[in-house]
Structure 1
Amino acid sequence: MLELETAQLAAFATEIRAHVRGLDAAFAGNLAYWSADP
């Protein structure tokens, strides 16, 4: 049982990291948009 929960927690951590990377990319894109000269 503990092994299953540990595996699920690891998978959840991986999923969260992927979402945070997506937010980072979106934030960087937003900064690039607003930093560009018209």
Structure 2
Amino acid sequence: EKFLFTVQYHPESSPGPHDSHYLFRDFARMMDDFKGK
């Protein structure tokens, strides 16, 4: 099983400082969940 995380734009160049925060938060949670397996 492989885990993927993709975005159709450049989240680091988002217009607002917190507009893409949820992407990085979700990615970090996904990594934590994977470590727990």
More helix per residue: 1 or 2? 1
Give me the TM-score of the superposition, normalised by structure 1: 0.48
Give me the TM-score of the superposition, normalised by structure 2: 0.48
